[in-house]
Structure 1
């Protein structure tokens, strides 16, 4: 199947499917989407025409990247790989990760344990955007993904001040020149960090919550004119209470210039539903 293509701007020169698969829950303790189940979902997405897979080094304690690496073996050139780094686990969380498999089984049987894990996951993780940490994270992601290049690498949720410091930008530009990254950008959480990211000349793309994007459409349109692309995330937040629901959320995401929509799911049926909403969804000509 062929999905409508989106051009993510001249800075990245990437063309991707209008909908990409968000892989944050693949391999996690709570999702149950791991091993053959996860690989079946990934193959289903690729066969359905999804060409962009979005992950991060912390998702599933690295298992999301490993699952993607196995699923795309022999199909690497079909896929635009997006991963992130800059958040890190505490020492206690790293110890817990060693017992991940038995924890997953136990959490399925003990609701209180499941709730405790979910509450801990909801908390903010420490950030480290130092060049040394980010570069070692890139190298580790390349190994887990089983590839020699990352198509789009994102700094994972720095605040506006960290972006203005820009301590790792020169190193990331070097990784692009070395061919380990095709382009890099920033995953932002709020208006302040988005505004700071848009001012960085090397930023090729922003990953941004749809609700934040709605607040700053003129700034994003100006960024698109400068060659920046946009990955809309959290697009279904509150969608059930909005007119048109999920179809309207996809339409709104793709109406931004040089923008694609991320659908985070572990269900092939839910992904197919989202892909079905593309029918009749106009995509601005400047994005193709």
Structure 2
């Protein structure tokens, strides 16, 4: 495993972390034993950055990580998120009182006194223009409840606004072969301000694993079934906002240029890691073999410029017209 500096902090984080949405919910059933095996395997393979949220399984993901923190001696950086428990989820709900209630619940779930990184969880755009929200985050740092704070955004424009706050540590954003817009301007601005970049949905809801077909079916409680049109939350979180059938066609083109001894998932992850502005990529996993496959991407050789160009061409031809202007 290779490690990268995490923005303004002195952290050295594994360039491949672990996203734990699937261990909480909305990805079909995951047993507690499978979840623990995934978490342990990740640590065994050098992962030291876990991303979670208070709404993943209504706290299940945080509680699982909390148990792992008790069992393992290794330093694990935990990044959680809050704000989505608001109902309705509106900008006016982002008050210090509400956020503090959510934060206290996450501290209890994780069994810690301080959370390494707490992120606003894809709030409404207006929140980024409200300094009082970020003043509240500053207060939580001063109180010792969190060490650093960041944001998880849906849109590049939201990220650009967020990094104007001088003490913001990180921005989490969707970035993958099917969502390439962040590399145009956003990454450069983050680098200038020494803001860490966490890239999520790296496999486009596993579409980029190359294992899906037009006949693939998903459980009723899997967002790839119930959120294809954005019925539950931003559609960009499901298949990175790409129409399923179009995505399958693009993946078939990627398979034609896949290097030997490399899985489709590893190609997708390595492509992200070719961008030095990325601090950490956080693929999810429900099984141990997925952890092994994902983490191995760190040690793969760099992708050749010719291959990078071919990937860009596939994006231009199949995907860009659908998604580039939206996020």
Determine if the TM-score, normalized by the shorter chain, exceeds 0.5: yes
How big is each residue's C-alpha offset from its partner over 1:88-112, in whole Å with a ceiling of 9 and x where there is no partner?
165xxxxxxxxxxxxxxxxxxxxxx
- Residue 249 of structure 1 is aligned with which of 268, 281, 289? 268
How far 1:282 sits from its partner (Å)? 4.6
Tell me the C-alpha RMSD between the 2 structures. 2.2
Which position in structure 2 is the counterpart of 1:110?
none
Which position in structure 2 is the counterpart of 1:98?
none
How big is each residue's C-alpha offset from its partner over 1:170-219, in whole Å with a ceiling of 9 and x where there is no partner?
11112212222111000001122122112221211011000597313233
Which position in structure 2 is the counterpart of 1:130?
95
How far 1:47 sits from its partner (Å)? 1.3
Higher deviation after alignment, 139-148 or 69-78:
69-78
Residues 253, 259 of structure 1: 8 Å contact kept: no
Residues 152, 183 of structure 1: 8 Å contact kept: yes
Residues 17, 280 of structure 2: 8 Å contact kept: yes
Alignment map for 1:192-271 (pairs within 5 Å): 192-211=157-176, 214-217=180-183, 218-237=185-204, 238-239=207-208, 240=210, 241=251, 242=254, 243-244=257-258, 245-254=264-273, 255-271=275-291
When normalised by structure 2's length, the TM-score is 0.69
Query: Unpaired runs of 5+ in structure 2?
Result: 211-250, 259-263, 304-327
Residues 27, 34 of structure 1: 8 Å contact kept: no
Q: How many residues align?
A: 246
How far 1:256 sits from its partner (Å)? 3.4
Secondary structure, counterpart of 2:147 in structure 1: coil
Query: Unpaired runs of 5+ in structure 1?
Result: 91-124, 284-288
How far 1:74 sits from its partner (Å)? 4.1
How far 1:45 sits from its partner (Å)? 1.2
Higher deviation after alignment, 18-27 or 159-168:
159-168
Give the Cα–Cα distance (whole angstroms) in 2 for the partners of residues 89 and 34 of structure 1: 27
Which position in structure 2 is the counterpart of 1:86?
83
- Residue 70 of structure 1 is aligned with which of 67, 75, 80? 67
Measured at CA, do residues 188 and 29 of structure 1 come closer, stay the same or move farther in structure 2, by a change above 3 Å?
Answer: closer
Answering whether residue 126 of structure 2 is matched by residue 167 of structure 1, we say no
How far 1:281 sits from its partner (Å)? 4.3
Give the Cα–Cα distance (whole angstroms) in 1 for the partners of residues 73 and 109 of structure 2: 14
When normalised by structure 1's length, the TM-score is 0.78
Which position in structure 2 is the counterpart of 1:42?
39
Secondary structure, counterpart of 2:113 in structure 1: coil
